[in-house]
Amino acid sequence: MTDRRDGSDEAFTDAAEILRSALAGDSDGVADVFDAVVDRSGVTGAYDVAWCLAATMVGDDVPAGGWALDFPGIDEAGYDARWVARFISAYANSDDSTGEALFGAALADGQLPECLLTLAGSAVATLRRRRAA
């Protein structure tokens, strides 16, 4: 995807299904949806769904401009938490090339499934915080 606000209906539908599973605490369901996306659309499809999840977390009212990552202790965080923080930062900065690089690195490192589960969990936590506010 080249524009962070673009996305296929299929990617949005898949992201919504992932969020439903994650809200229900069904990590197997989250993994199953990502697996189905990869089977159907390859890694590019999984990237598009992850970008939609990042959009859910960041929201639509983010002014254009440079956003800095403010995550105290990020260097001590686990791979998946560092990845999610940086992926969200890439989304917030409309930096698709960094998002793609992060995605590729996690895939090459064998960490992508865990990163995607953490991303889904982070999106759910964000939605719950918004509802509580």
Q: What is the pLDDT of residue 1?
A: 34
Q: What is the pLDDT of residue 69?
A: 66
Whole-prediction pTM: 0.86
Q: Tell me if 15 sits within 8 A of 53, measured CB to CB.
A: yes
Q: What is the pLDDT along the chain (133 residues), one digit of tens a residue?
A: 334 445 578 999 999 999 999 999 999 999 999 999 999 999 999 999 999 999 998 887 766 667 666 778 888 999 999 999 999 989 988 889 999 999 999 999 999 999 999 999 999 999 998 888 7
Q: Is 53 exposed, middle or buried (0-12, 13-18, 19+ CB in 10 A)?
A: buried
CA 75 to chain centre: 20
Angle at 88 between CA 83 and CA 12, to 5 degrees: 110
Q: What is the pLDDT of residue 74?
A: 82
Contacts of 54 (CB under 8 A, 6+ apart): 87, 88, 90, 91, 99, 119, 123
Q: What is the pLDDT of residue 83?
A: 96
Q: What is the pLDDT of residue 59?
A: 80
